[in-house]
Structure 1
Amino acid sequence: MATFGQIIFASMITLIVIFSALIILILALSLSGTLSEVISTNTLPVANLGEDQLLSCFLSTKGQPAGLTDVAVTWEKTGLTGLVYRYQNGALDLADQNSQFKGRTQLFLDALTTGNASLLLRGVARSDEGEYTCSISSSGGGGKVNIYLRTAAFSAPTFKFTNGTLAAEASRWFPKPNVTWSNYDRLILPGNTSFTSNSAGIFSVVSTLQSINVSDTYTCRMENDLVTGISTVTVAGTDVSGNTYFTYSAASSLPTSTYLSLTTSVLYIYYVT
């Protein structure tokens, strides 16, 4: 039979456990309205060389008013000396900006109070490829997100139909793509493809398909490890019409420390000749 002292001791332990649980619950409830995280709508973007690329970065807050204050944003690139971009204390702070990014980066300052810290990178070059970190702090919380930028060159082909031959010409591809033709029934057709590269290593592509049936629909697929361009082409007399869309790979060859998420983007281009 337990002694009076043992009963008192057990009761005190029970009360301590109960009060601890209540304190944890109260703290959790009080903080639940201020949870925040930094997210990106695309952590594996593929930039078209020479064109501008948006690196998305947003502060997602729970239970916070619409307008954030005291917003500070820092963009960094792994392995780079200096910063990509910084905004703090209500002004730009580019004193430590790496020369690679001078005059090529921009935040949308009017959007910072909504948590939008996306970075516009102008005229993407191969040297821009790599891992970026977007860090945000504000009255509504903060955090960081990693984004791995990949670079490629790709363009939609133009099509011509002459003397029973359908030709596809694309001016910019890198890495070098594979080209495949197929008919409406997805049967692979024998095409003839040639490549020419310029001093920057960018390939122009010319691919032809013979023995075309007028009024039939064909598919021309240009793809490398990063980008796939799929063109659906209809031949009607001497006219060619169709559309092209691009998809981007999940980049399974990225460093294992980078990303497990997968994002695929699609761009449609319509043409009539």
Structure 2
Amino acid sequence: MRSIIVLLLLNLLTDCSVSITVKVPPGFVVAHVGSTVILPCWISPAQNAEAMEIRWYRQKQFKTPVLLYEHGRIQDKQEESFRNRSSLTPRSDHSGGLKGGDVSLQLEKITIQDEGPFHCYVSGHSAYDSAELELKVTAPGSAPVLFPRALDDGRLNVSCSSSGWYPEPNITWTSDQGKTLRPAGVSLHRAADGLFSVHSWTTVSPSDAQLVSCSVSTTTGESKEGNMDIQGFISSDPWKPLFITFTLLFCALLGVAGLILYKYRGKLTDCENGPVEERKGYTGVQMSDNAYENASVDINIEDLRKHAEQITIDRENISPDLKITNDCKCVRDSPDYHHTAEGFPYQLCAFGAQRYTSGRHYWEVELTRENTPAKNYWLIGVVKHGNHCGKDRSALTPSRGYWFLCSDGKNGFYTNTDSPITLSISPRPERLGVLLDYDEGLLEFYSVKESKHLLTMRTRFSGSIVPLFNPGVGDKSPLKIVDCPVTVESPVELTVSLLYNWNTDA
């Protein structure tokens, strides 16, 4: 009897010795968009975790973890959005790493989508435990920019603009006397990347304040402030502010007039050159609500890049006969795929992960690589979200939610109208620019290297629109989505843009 009691006590002590308690810090962890963050997690009391299973996962995604360490190494099984940016990293230089029971997770290139709870799960030979840690993501936006506009009654309309914020920011107006000023209006816009921009304006008089401050802040504590000395703008000469205002208005009107002339230059040329049908090389065709215009004219690529988007391919919604890179930027036909049917392989489609329901959006696609000829086969455009590509081209029409330009080798370039429109494009594009203007119903294509406009497709979009890619088959070069260089507006362009917003909103 005594020996049985001893054995039971030994078993109890053994069970206690292998118990696991997982710890995380209280509260939450805050990280900026684009930064690297460590989510601390450790075993208490400390014990060697090198032979244990360590699994970091999101809510209800245990089987598709953020990171899985098992059998002494990190496994390839993980949620795709965290591939190549998650690792096990000690929370401090003195934690001892895995040998000391430190199972902390490091995340790189933080995105807004990373926000939320993360579960730290550790399993030993006969025990396991888990803990939850909240990640809050922030993006401190740009410093507020203030611009004044004189009113007829001697007051000033002061506008404040800032962009690149997350979460949704608040805007506060104050005077140098500590008085809170009431905004005349506030507008908030959320871009495709999830970041917010804010624009507000208020009306003040010289007797109210000498200095006006605009502060933009978030609930996570991020805050930036801009100031303006309004006394320096208001002159004893009442005509000075009016002169400045009218000068800016005149410049803005000149810009608008130039834009109108540029936009309708083709129509003016039509009137001068006679009936459209008789002009040599004209490829414009009216198809119900859809118009297609082909005009090879010089354009400014940098202007287009002001609307550049970071486009990636939706890995979960792609043809099984395509192969894409880990960064979801490059796609080509799989080496195992053999195209035996005649004609272009329309079914080999990849779709953008980004959806658009308004605004202007621009992206560029590389169609060649060093020491390799430009691709002969590709299909690039946009499609209504939820559509799928089949082998039959007749089903891929604008009336069914498809808009694209296709390069079909010796068959040339053509659009996807019911009766295809063949285009003469030379030289073959090495990089294609695509501009989607959802609100205006425009889809435009550009040859980036030659800075040439190739094609404009006119339609009426509805619902969510996503980018569409098809690399064709047989080319040595893949189809690669490239990140456009960041283009910063000049002070003159920004002034005219804000002035237009004042006249529209204030």
TM-score range, shorter chain: 0.5 to 0.7
The total of aligned residue pairs comes to: 204
SS in 1 for 2:97: helix
| Matching of residues 194-209 of structure 1 within 5 Å | 194-207=187-200
- 1:175-205 C-alpha deviation (Å, 9 max, x unpaired): 5433123457754223454445433353223
Partner of 1:135: 121
Which structure has the larger Rg? 2
* Structure 2 CA distance for partners of 1:185 and 1:40, relative to 1, 3 Å: farther
- 1:147-202 C-alpha deviation (Å, 9 max, x unpaired): 24455544253466889998754321245433123457754223454445433353
CA positional deviation for 1:213: 3.0
Determine which of 25, 38, 59 is the counterpart of 1:41: 25
CA contact 2:146–2:227 (8 Å) conserved in 1: no
Letter in 2 for 1:41: P
Question: Distance in 1 between the 2:106 and 2:26 partners?
Answer: 14
Partner of 1:77: 58
- 1:196-232 C-alpha deviation (Å, 9 max, x unpaired): 5433353223445655535x9x572523xx5343446
The percent of aligned pairs where both chains have the same amino acid is 21
Question: Distance in 2 between the 1:106 and 1:160 partners?
Answer: 43
SS in 1 for 2:110: coil
SS in 1 for 2:21: strand
Question: Distance in 2 between the 1:79 and 1:234 partners?
Answer: 47
Larger fraction in strand? 1
Partner of 2:352: none
Determine which of 90, 98, 112 is the counterpart of 2:79: 98
Determine which of 170, 173, 184 is the counterpart of 1:178: 170
Letter in 1 for 2:87: Q
* Structure 2 CA distance for partners of 1:72 and 1:197, relative to 1, 3 Å: closer
The alignment status of 1:59 with 2:34, answered yes or no, reads no
CA positional deviation for 1:105: 0.9
Root mean square deviation of aligned Cα: 4.5
- 1:114-166 C-alpha deviation (Å, 9 max, x unpaired): 33222122233444344321112469x86310124455544253466889998
Partner of 1:255: none
Partner of 1:213: 210
CA positional deviation for 1:89: 3.1
TM-score, normalised relative to structure 1: 0.54
* Structure 2 CA distance for partners of 1:165 and 1:37, relative to 1, 3 Å: farther
CA positional deviation for 1:86: 1.4
Question: Distance in 2 between the 1:185 and 1:158 partners?
Answer: 20
Partner of 1:145: 131
Question: Distance in 1 between the 2:97 and 2:159 partners?
Answer: 46
The alignment status of 1:189 with 2:173, answered yes or no, reads no
CA contact 2:144–2:226 (8 Å) conserved in 1: no
SS in 1 for 2:81: helix
* Structure 2 CA distance for partners of 1:60 and 1:185, relative to 1, 3 Å: farther
CA contact 2:50–2:72 (8 Å) conserved in 1: no
TM-score, normalised relative to structure 2: 0.32
CA contact 1:219–1:230 (8 Å) conserved in 2: no
Where do 5+ consecutive residues of structure 1 fail to align? Answer: 1-19, 239-273
Partner of 1:229: 222
